[in-house]
Amino acid sequence: MARELYGVRFPPGTGTCEVRVSTTGGSSDVEADAFRRLAAALPGVIFSYEVSDDRTTHRFPFIGDRIVPLLGLDPDELARDATPMFEIIDPEDRRRVIASISHSARRLTPWHEEARLHLADGTVRWFDALAVPEEEEGGAVLWYGQLNDIHEHKELEEGLRAREAEHAEHARYQRLIAELSAELLTSGLAEDLDASISRVLEAVGDFFDAARTYLCELDDELSRATDTHEWCRPGVPSLIAQERDGSLLQYGWWRDQMAQLVRAGRVLAVDDVDRLPAEAVAERSYLSSQGVRAMLCVPIQIHGRVEGFVGIDADRARDWSSAETDLLVVVAGLLAGAVARHRLERELVEHSVRDPLTGLHNRRYLLPRLAEMAGHHRRTGAPYSVAMIDIDHFKVVNDRLGHAVGDGALRCLAEQLTELTRGTDVVARFGGEEFVIALPDTDQDGARAIVGRIVASVRERAVDVEGQSLHLTVSAGVATTEDEPATGHDADGLLRAADRRLYRAKSEGRDRLADAAGVRRP
């Protein structure tokens, strides 16, 4: 029988993601406190959204506190059931939003939508949301994303469209904004973002028939300005290596203009360098020597702070129109949003692969690294090893001294493991008191030496935890690609072999290392 979602029916057998509103919790729970600092530092609302493995329930495990004043919704209620959020989506937009979520869940592709939301005060405002999905163990899908109020931007777009009949140029503005938005929204890694910014500057330069466009970074004291990205029309010399803007800061008038740009977010428009005021004679001479006749600079604000500006140089005098200034303001906003999203994604990714207690990498990070080492081994024959390490009698520590001491012991061991391994090794907390070390380009003898030092060092070094002096010991199991056929020369095989040997080390007295050669006490 077909199920119904806000009046949208999804027949069985179509492969379409199905969400049935329910108060039942999902399969994964994101601790909101871990993201709250990030949410408070960014515009909009940061959220995670989860659809259960059977696609019958959905919820927001985490949503920033800004949702309360912005939409009047209760984060605790949304953590149980996402229904209230979907109920305020305009009916004309709701079907599209649900369909795009279904598509994103099926394909695990990034999700982006714009929709009108009906607020508690009776107003309707445009919002956009961008989120990246991942499939959790068990089949649930979890998105990490950001919700932004784009109503003013939408009103600007609608105003430009309304004047298209009179001003065909405005249509070009819209196409450019759309192209730049798509360009910046698809940028992910730092290399992608750099390339996207360069393409944006080229598109802006072509649109304005400019000589040069650039992105300039300012330091807090306005003592230095650095062009980080630049596009030049063919035949126009590049100034990025000459630190042009840094040199301009030595002149008083220009420094004052930059101060106003930073403090007040003021746009700097120079229609004709030859008509600069008398106090800017040095700046006029300097810019003229570089063939600059007109300039337009718009600040880039990230988290309310001006971090630099996007600039246009023209080799002829021109009267910058308000429409051109507005367009560059929009471009600056797109660039700021892309940089902010990139920083957020980088921090979210880092958080998702770190164990919050020890700061080590977690299983989510470890397993792909092991797969990479296995692939490298299959291609080149280079060995790699895996060590599984477990604190002896850890339950006794927890039961007798308390979980605070137990947590401290885990942190101390994590520090020792990091200290005693190489920069190329991957140290991860695998679960509970178990740790795994992946040792690339390491044979059996090398792994035995490294892990043996760890076992001996932990035994010999007392650690102070919560005022308690602890003498810990660990047991370790080691497996390498030389252990054929026991390991099967694959990451899962190595992990299983290391786990078996760990338990052998424990069964033969603990405080020992077990590998293919046997059990010994280093």
Asked if residue 29 has pLDDT above 60, the reply is no
Q: What is the mean pLDDT of residues 285-289?
A: 89
User: Average pLDDT in the 279-293 region?
Assistant: 90
Q: Is the pLDDT of residue 72 over 50?
A: yes
- Give the separation between CA 403 and CA 314, rounded to whole angstroms: 66
Helix or strand run (H / E) with residue 437: strand 434-440
Residue 415 φ/ψ region, left for φ over 0, alpha for ψ in the -120 to 50 degree band, beta for the rest: alpha
Identical topology for domains 3-149 and 154-349: yes
Give 341 or 371, the one with higher predicted confidence: 371
Q: Is the separation of the CB atoms in 453 and 438 below 8 Å?
A: no
Helices (H), 353-465: 363-380, 394-401, 403-420, 444-460
pLDDT band at 486 (very low <50, low <70, confident <90, very high): low
Q: How confident is the model at residue 243 (pLDDT cuts 50, 70, 90)?
A: low
Task: Give residue 17's pLDDT band: very low, low, confident or very high (50, 70, 90).
Answer: very low
DSSP reduced 3-state for 32 = coil
The DSSP secondary-structure symbol of 89 reads: B
Task: Indicate the range of 12-26, 90-104, 187-201 predicted with least confidence.
Answer: 12-26
Res 173: pLDDT:
75
Domain 3-149 annotated CATH 3.30.450.20:
yes
Cα radius of gyration (the chain)? 29
Which residues sit opposite 114 in a β-bridge?
A: 128
Q: Helix %, strand %, coil % for the chain, to 5?
A: 45, 25, 30
Contact predicate 251/214, CB 8 Å: no
Report the alpha-carbon distance of residue 468 to residue 401 in Å, rounded: 9
Yes or no: domain 154-349 corresponds to CATH 3.30.750.24: no
- pLDDT for residue 476: 97
80 touches 52 (CB < 8 A): no
Average confidence (pLDDT) over 342-355: 75
- Distance separating the N- and C-terminal Cα atoms of the chain: 65
In the three-class reduction of DSSP (H, G, I as helix; E, B as strand; rest coil), residue 263 is classed as helix
Residues 157-174 as b/e (b if ≥16 CB within 10 A, e otherwise) read beebeeeeeeeeebeebe
Task: Answer whether 288's CB lies under 8 Å from 274's CB.
Answer: yes
Give every CB contact of residue 167 below 8 A, 6+ residues apart in sequence: 323
Q: Rounded mean pLDDT of 93-112? A: 95
Alpha carbon distances (Å) from 4 to 18, 43, 105, 142, 476: 9, 34, 18, 22, 54
Strand partners of residue 146: 46, 130
**How many angstroms separate the CA atoms of 121 and 147, rounded?**
19
* % of the chain at pLDDT higher than 90: 48
Strand stretches in 57-140, DSSP E: 58-63, 111-118, 124-135
Helix (H, G, I), strand (E, B) or coil at 349: helix
Burial tier of 65 (Cβ tally within 10 Å: 0-12, 13-18, 19+): middle
Q: Which has more pLDDT, 344 or 414?
A: 414
Q: Which of 90-99, 100-109, 184-193 has the lowest mean pLDDT?
A: 184-193
Return the structure tokens found at 493.
Answer: 């095989």
Instruction: Give domain 363-520's CATH superfamily.
Output: Reverse transcriptase/Diguanylate cyclase domain (3.30.70.270)
Domain extents in the chain = 3-149, 154-349, 363-520
What does residue 215 show for φ and ψ, rounded to 5 degrees?
-115, 125
Interhelix angle 169-185/151-162, nearest 10 degrees: 150
Interatomic CA distance for residues 357 and 429, integer angstroms: 9
